[in-house]
Amino acid sequence: MTASRSASGAAGILLAALLSSGCSAAEVPPEEPNANWSLLGGKSPTPQDTTLELGVVRAACAGGQTGDVASTDTEFGTEQVVVTVYVQPLPEGTYGCPMNDTVPYILDLGQPLGERALVDGACRDAALSGTPACSQDGLRWKP
C-alpha cells in the first residue's frame, strides 16, 4: 500500500471536501514537506512492527511550536519505507526561531516493517535536504 500526493485536481477536491465539512482553509494539509521526524521510544523497531512512534518537529521557525500533524505519506519499497510528515500550516505572521517542540505521533504502517530501512521523506525536498535533520539523506533507522 502506497500513499502518495496526487496532482492539483485531487488537491482541489480535498479542499472542497474539507471546506464543505466545516474545516477552515488553514486546516488543509500543506503540499510541501514542512516537518522532520525521528523515532521515539528508545528502542529499535522490529520487522513485525506495524506502527511506529514518531517525534515530529516543524522544520521552519514557528516560535517553538510544531503544531498538529496534518497528514502523512508512506512509500513502501523493497529496501526502505519512506515516511513524510506534514504539519498544519501556521497562521500569517512573524515567528522566532527557538527549537520547535517535538510532537509525538503514532504512525500506522498498515503492514509489517520487515527488513526495510526507515527514511524521512522530507529530506527529498530541496529546501530541507541540506538541513542537519537531513544528514545521511534522512536515514532514520537501518536494520
Written as tens digits, the pLDDT of the chain (143 aa) is 444 333 333 333 333 333 333 333 445 556 788 999 999 988 899 999 999 999 999 998 899 999 999 999 999 999 999 999 999 988 888 888 888 999 999 999 999 999 999 999 999 988 888 888 899 999 999 99
Of residues 108, 93, 89, the one with CA closest to residue 23: 89
Distance CA(89)–CA(68), nearest Å, equals 9
Classify residue 55: in a domain, yes or no. yes
Residue 101 lies in a domain: yes
CA distances from 31 to 41, 44, 72, 124, 126 (A): 29, 30, 11, 14, 14
DSSP state of 59: S
Instruction: Classify residue 118: in a domain, yes or no.
Output: yes
Say what the pTM is.
0.76
Residue 2 included in any domain: no
pLDDT of residue 131: 85
Residue 130 within any structural domain of the chain: yes
Cell of 70: 496534518
Domain span at residue 119? 8-141
Residue 91 lies in a domain: yes
- Grid cell listed for 13: 477536491
State residue 29's pLDDT score.
Answer: 56
3, part of any domain: no
Indicate the helix (H) or strand (E) that contains 25.
none
Model pLDDT, residue 97: 87
